[in-house]
Amino acid sequence: MRLSAIFPFLSTLKTYSPRDFRADITAALTVTPMAVPQAMAYAIIAGVHPQYGIYACMLPVVMAALWGSSRFMAAGPTNAISMVLFSTMATISVGGTLIINMPEEIRMTYIFGLALFCGLIQVGMGLARLGDLANFISHSVMVAFTTGAALLIGMGQLKTVFGIPGPKKAGFFHQMFDVLHGLPQLNEWCVGLAALTIVLALGLKRISRRFPSSLAALALVTAVSWYLEADKHGVPLVGAIPSVIPPLSMPPAFDLAAVRDLFMPALALALLGTVESLAIGKQLASVKNDNFDGSQELIGQGLGNMAAGITSGIPGCGSFTRSALMVTSGGRTRMGTVFSGLLALPMLFALAPFIAWLPLPALGGILLIIAAQMIDIEAIRLCLVATRIDRLVLSLTFASTLIFDLEKAIFIGVLLSLVLFIYKTAHPRVRRLRPNDPLLREAPADRPDGIAVYVVEGTLFFGAIHELERQLYEEDDEPTRLVVLHLTRVFWLDASGAYALSQFVERCYARSIPVILVVGSRSVNRILQRTGILDYLSNGFVAETINEGLRQAAQLLSRITCRDGLCTYPVPGIAPLAETAAATYAGALPENAAGKDADEDDTPPLLEATEAGAAASTAPTQIDQLPLDMDHHDDEEHGEAGETDGTDATGLESRTDCDGNAHTASSASAASASGPRCEDSAPAGKAVPLPDDAPQGSILIVGPRPPAEFPGVDDLQGPPMPEDERKAP
């Protein structure tokens, strides 16, 4: 194993240049002034002292940057993670006491334990190469969860902004009731300072996106609060920071019950942090055209949370705002985020005296801005107008964030995502291509009528085949003479799909509708070969591209001529998978094809020519049908005077009815023919008769039987078709 696989930052240091250092340190000086006040605000959301948020901006950020995959990812406390953390503390009780009501020293040990457990889970997921896990989480779920968390953050800060005394409660409706109930106790000083913070932050933001507007607004409001002695008017302050250097904090040895209580919240935090971090990392990689390893990023995020658990920090994940600022500020490597984490310590030294005078309503005003920015109206609109499933998932997830605990809402969202994924997989898209479809842009313009082109997208199994048959048999505007089945966009095909496909092709040929498969995927082609489907398809019925398949279809149908407005369908006995003993007349298998065992009829019931070729040329004729073998279409091969087996000079196939009268073959009306069959089945090697009352032009098609081991036709027994008979008529 290469050393860079264990220490991914070594590859960065090998090529690190002074130019990179200047760009990274400049970006770090821009990001850190934004990260520190954000971390303080997120600590307030989590219900802990702001100092623990600042601690999470130091070593955890450095660890995540060094061992992560993205060179721009800025980790640390985030709004959603902090909201879930507060919900966890407000719902888990130890010894009958909620963790949020415990003394701060004890409460923080549980938070540090949560951070450590969360990090261990993420590292384990990364080592297990589960970096693509975020792909299974629906976009609608994330939009709904983010919107619900924004409302929870906003509602949770209203008590602080309004100066309403009393402990915080978890749950949107509990918080709303407390706010409404406490409005008579509203503190005008708190409202004024919060409003001033919001106005300053939004106004200063107009100067530049890189300008630390939040930090500047907090500094100005702190100065105003100190000058006016706002604390004497009931305005709560942050208070002094006990220690500037993050103290080491090892979680105590939890008993089994405590570990069980903390595991599910830690798993919820890990899943939420995973989804957010991987989504941000992929977006940054696409913007900068970088390679992104989701599993490696999980290892970095996990190590960062483990570092938070032992350095008195709260858990976090990748932050989009700080990561985007790192990009726009000119950062070049992962060292920019490392410098940002290192600069947080001297900034804390410099700001510690001022942080003690920082009014909490000012931080509440910053959080209201953050909550408003979390609500993406355009993303919500997109989910609402997309599909009914997206609307349902959005509504259920959003409602769960407001009604249940956030960690439960996360699991509900993940469950809905999995259900949605299974639903989409179980309902592959099957559509018929119209003449103006982009896929038919380069198709032959003079292709015959009656060619139905179907595209299957997704997983090919019984659900897709049933939908395909429904469209083929119920929704056609014109009679279908041939089906081109486009399987290039099928990304998964298993045994059930291969069996369903073989059944579909057999049923099509039972209706005298040949099928051409377009198979462009190597994996699908390989499975079709393994299951034996391609072995029983002649060369003219398998194509690699849709244009090739359409050319083959046009060539096939162009060799079938019509009279009196009636058209034939190709005789299945010469086509792939139509080598089943299929009777198109009366829609049933003839007795000599399906009713006997192999030992009773060892010879496949092949159609033979009668000696009535001349009579056939003068019999009532509706259809001329040429042989359908794609490889044998020269006139010389069929004789110059109609001296071929069962075919006269015009290409008419002759059959003998029950009375010995000659009839010409017309498979066009065979599929729709009705009436009794002849009482006596034609033995092998004899001509197959037609009943007297059969409609004019009907034929009884009996082809060679398939081998018994062919998928899906176990009920049809008989010896395999010889190789020479399978490839040529």
Range with the largest mean pLDDT of 53-67, 198-212, 225-239, 373-387: 53-67
Q: Tell me the residue length of the chain.
A: 729
Residue at token pair 């290192």: 342
3-state helix/strand/coil string of 551-612: HHHHHHHHCEEEECCECCCCCHHHCCCCCCCCCCHHHCCCHHHHCCCCCCCCCCCCCCCCCC
- What pLDDT does 538 receive? 56
For residue 478, what are the CA distances in angstroms to 324, 452, 474, 570? Answer: 55, 9, 11, 17
pLDDT of residue 442: 64
Going by DSSP bridges, is the β-strand pair 515-518/490-493 parallel, antiparallel, or unpaired? unpaired
Cα–Cα distance between 698 and 218 in angstroms, integer? 90
The more confident residue out of 41 and 610 is 41
Task: Please state the φ and ψ torsions of residue 455, each to the nearest 5 degrees.
Answer: -115, 130
- Encoded tokens for 192: 């004024």
Which pLDDT value is given to residue 528? 79
> What is the DSSP track for 305-339?
HHHHHHTT----EEEHHHHHHHHHTT--STHHHHH
Residue 314 has pLDDT above 80, yes or no: yes
**Structural contact between residues 359 and 222, judged by C-beta atoms closer than 8 angstroms:** yes
Across the range 105-116, mean pLDDT stands at 90
- Amino acid 95 reads G
Res. 41: pLDDT tops 50: yes
612-643: burial string, b at 16+ Cβ within 10 Å, e else: bbebbbebebbbbbbbbbbeeeeeeebeeebe
Contact 273, 77 (CB under 8 A): no
Summarize pLDDT for 250-279 with one digit per residue, the tens.
766 666 777 788 888 899 899 989 988 988
Contact between residue 393 and residue 144 where contact means Cβ atoms under 8 Å apart:
yes
Q: What is the spatial distance between Cα 83 and Cα 102, in angstroms, rounded to a whole number?
A: 18
Report the alpha-carbon distance of residue 84 to residue 79 in Å, rounded: 9
Cβ(729)–Cβ(633) under 8 Å?
no
What is the pairing mode between strands 317-319 and 74-76? antiparallel
Q: What is the mean pLDDT of residues 611-628?
A: 33
Q: Would you state the pLDDT for residue 675?
A: 38
Q: Which of 89, 503, 492 is nearest to 315 (CA)?
A: 89
Closest CA to 339 of 322, 314, 351: 322
More confident site: 619 or 540: 540
CATH code assigned to 429-558 = 3.30.750.24
Please say if the pLDDT value at position 382 is more than 60: yes
Q: Does the pLDDT value for residue 99 go beyond 80?
A: yes
The enclosing H or E element of 542 equals strand 542-543
Distance of CA 466 to the CA centre of its chain: 23
CA-CA distance, 627 to 639, in Å (whole number)? 12
Cα gap 229→226, rounded to integer Å: 5
User: How far is Cα 286 from Cα 290, in angstroms, rounded to an integer?
Assistant: 7
**Tokens standing for 340?**
């940002």
Does the structure show a pLDDT above 60 at 555? Answer: yes
Taking each helix axis from N to C end, the angle separating 360-374 and 139-162, rounded to the nearest 10 degrees, works out to 160
DSSP-assigned letter for residue 136: G
Find tokens 């279409």 and name the residue: 633
Q: Which tens digit of pLDDT belongs to each residue from 44-66?
A: 988 899 999 999 999 999 999 99
pLDDT band at 200; cut points 50, 70, 90? very high
Answer yes or no: are the C-beta atoms of 700 and 590 closer than 8 Å: yes
Q: What is the CA radius of gyration of the chain?
A: 37
Task: Look at residue 512 in the predicted model and tell me its pLDDT.
Answer: 77
What letter represents residue 52's amino acid? Y
Q: What is the pLDDT of residue 222?
A: 93
Per-residue pLDDT at 549? 81
Q: At 335, list the tokens.
A: 């060292």
| Six-digit token string for 402 | 């407001």
pLDDT band (50, 70, 90) for residue 606 = very low
User: Rounded distance, CA 304 to CA 298, Å?
Assistant: 10
**Does residue 671 surpass a pLDDT of 80?**
no
| Of residues 527 and 17, more confidently modeled | 17
CA distance 613 to 637: 17
- Centre a 10 Å sphere on the Cβ of residue 132 and count the other Cβ atoms it contains: 10
Measured in whole angstroms, the distance separating CA 308 from the mean position of its chain's CA atoms is 33
**Terminal C-alpha separation, the chain:** 59
pLDDT of amino acid 355: 85
Least confident of 188-192, 247-251, 399-403, 670-674: 670-674
Query: Looking at this protein, which amino acid is placed at residue 472?
Result: L
pLDDT exceeds cutoff 70 at 178: yes
Residue 312 carries which DSSP code? T
CB 371 within 8 A of CB 59: no
Distance (Å, rounded) from C-alpha 254 to C-alpha 270?
20
Cα(42)–Cα(153) distance, integer angstroms? 10
Cα atoms in the Cβ-side hemisphere of radius 13 Å centred on 676: 5
Which sequence spans correspond to the domains of the chain? 3-235+255-423, 429-558, 564-729
- The three-state secondary structure class of 710 is coil
What pLDDT is stored for residue 472 in this prediction?
60
Amino acid type, 279? A
C-beta of residue 77 within 8 angstroms of C-beta of residue 115: no
Q: What's the mean per-residue pLDDT of the chain? A: 74
Q: How many CB atoms lie within 10 A of CB 100?
A: 22
Which residue spans within 86-155 are E strands per DSSP?
Answer: 93-94, 97-98
CB-facing half-sphere around the CA of 295: CA atoms within 13 A: 10
For residue 559, what pLDDT is reported? 62
Q: Whole-angstrom Cα distance, residue 538 to residue 517?
A: 11
